[in-house]
Amino acid sequence: MEIHIILGLFLLAKLVQQSKTIDQNGRLVGNDTYIGIPGKRLALKWTYIGTEKYKSVSVFLPEGGPRSGNLKLWEIKYFANNGTFSTKKLHVPNSVFNNLTEFKSETNSVFILVIKSVPRNISSFWFLCRLGFSSPWIVPKDKKITVRTAVRPSIQISIKRDESEVPKGRDVRLRCQVTSGYPKPSIEWKKDAKRLPSKQVSSTEADLELNNIQPVDAGRYVCMAKNIAGFTSRDVVITVKYIETKPDFPSNIKSAIGSFVDLSCPIEGYPQVMYSWFKGSNQLGQRSGLTVKIAQQKDFGNYTCIGENGFGSKTVTFTVFGDPSNSQRNFRGHANWNKSNFTLMLFSVMVFTLNFYH
């Protein structure tokens, strides 16, 4: 009896001594989180850092829930005597991953789980990799990796009802609000297909500020949100109400009697400008352009264009002047006299010829 006790104590001491020589610092490492693009391939990687030989590598799914425990999907057994591996796929009841995964060992310390196509209808899921050891003194090493499914962004542009059509000089702010999307999308503003300068975009890239808005600021503004799952864009059209006179137009026009003068009203704006032309109190036309025939001295003088729209009105006056002595009337009259005399001469010759032959 005493011999058995002594032998048992000796064996226990040996096991304790052996456990002290085992590397307890080995660990299984890998990224905590991966982002999967729906319908795309994704590879998850675990790495074993340690010196002790393991006997198995298993991948578990959490689909059994916390009460029923994790369900084993894959298992790799390592045979230390010849250094070979044996991979076995197990069937998890009602799991979408039964036919979507492959598991392999790239080296003795690197293990890869390949998801052939990331499911579209699962927002997040995880896999647990576990190393089992032959020695009873080594606790199995676990490492869980979570996969979050990427979601294409969804956005909306918020703008006050009265800010899509604004008067010149007003401040306007456009807000591009991301309603969904993972990972967090980047936001970019464009106007008429050209990227806007950063000074107009807020630090969050969500707000676009248009200060002291001018007619050149009118156009189509597009907010684009983009991440690895795709992109989404929304647009809004901004119109600027204004009325103004173009600079540097010729207001004094020299002409001559018998000539024509084309006048173009230099007033423009939005909404559409309605034009009226006057000479004194006489209205001459209602278009942006006016053609004036200088037939006599009284046709010289001031011609006024009035432009009006819902935003306001502008008035422009042209002065048409000339030298009556330097007219084209005598020139045109002289040309007509020569033509008349030539016609009369030709008619006389024809009459004379007919009488001769007769």
Per-residue pLDDT band at 195 (split at 50, 70, 90):
confident
The CA-CA-CA angle for residues 161, 225, 153, to 5°, reads 100
User: 234, 152, 141: which is closest to 185 by C-alpha?
Assistant: 152
User: 150, 212, 201: which is closest to 176 by C-alpha?
Assistant: 201
How far is Cα 292 from Cα 135, in angstroms, rounded to an integer?
A: 109
Q: What's the whole-number mean pLDDT along residues 89-111?
A: 88
Identify the structural domains of the chain with CATH numbers, from first to last.
Answer: 25-149 (2.60.40.10), 152-240 (2.60.40.10), 246-321 (2.60.40.10)
Q: What's the whole-number mean pLDDT along residues 179-185?
A: 93
Going edge to edge, which strands form the sheet with 274-279? 252-254, 312-321, 301-309, 274-279, 282-285
| Per-residue pLDDT, 357 | 41
Using DSSP bridges, classify how beta strands 207-210 and 282-285 pair: parallel, antiparallel or unpaired. Answer: unpaired
Highest mean pLDDT, choosing among 7-21, 191-205, 224-238: 224-238
Higher pLDDT, 204 or 323: 323
| Per-residue pLDDT, 161 | 65
| Per-residue pLDDT, 165 | 87
Q: How do residues 36-50 score in pLDDT, each as one tens digit?
A: 999 999 999 999 998
pLDDT over 90 at 67, yes or no: no
Percent of the chain beyond pLDDT 90? 53
Q: What's the whole-number mean pLDDT along residues 172-182?
A: 91
Q: How do residues 157-176 score in pLDDT, each as one tens digit?
A: 888 766 678 999 999 888 89
Q: How do residues 202-211 score in pLDDT, each as one tens digit?
A: 655 688 888 8
Highest mean pLDDT, choosing among 74-88, 150-164, 210-224, 317-331: 210-224
| Per-residue pLDDT, 25 | 66
Q: What's the whole-number mean pLDDT along residues 181-186?
A: 93
Higher pLDDT, 200 or 314: 314
Lowest mean pLDDT segment, chosen from 107-111, 202-206, 306-310 = 202-206
